Structure 1
């Protein structure tokens, strides 16, 4: 297995554990929601670029994905 895939797997595991710790250790606050959404966005981008091979795609697809992700996270944060 490539070293970059192992690093990505490790990062995904660390981010998942961090998200679980944040959700269990803090009360339901806006800061906790923002942290969890930020970590989820990072995990989404890691999976999209590494495993879905979006890094080889046209730059328009990359920018579109990042903009849609930012809009979704912003919308969810505005609700809370």
Structure 2
């Protein structure tokens, strides 16, 4: 799994835990649904501002998304 796919999978999991669908999330972060969908399919990377906004909505620290995608490594 590449980093985009890992990040996307973690965001989708967080959305599922919060019961938030793509349309609702897109509206809350002021992103088009199409752009969000592309990110969730790993077709485009989310930038740090987008990850921050998504994290606020789904109540997950954005670093969790980056860790899941292997973008950053856990300390220790």
Task: State the TM bucket, normalised to the shorter chain.
Answer: 0.3 to 0.5
**Bigger RCO of structures 1 and 2 (CA < 8 A, at least 6 apart):** 2
- TM-score in terms of structure 1 length: 0.31
The structure with the largest alpha-carbon Rg is: 1
For normalisation by structure 2, the TM-score amounts to 0.32
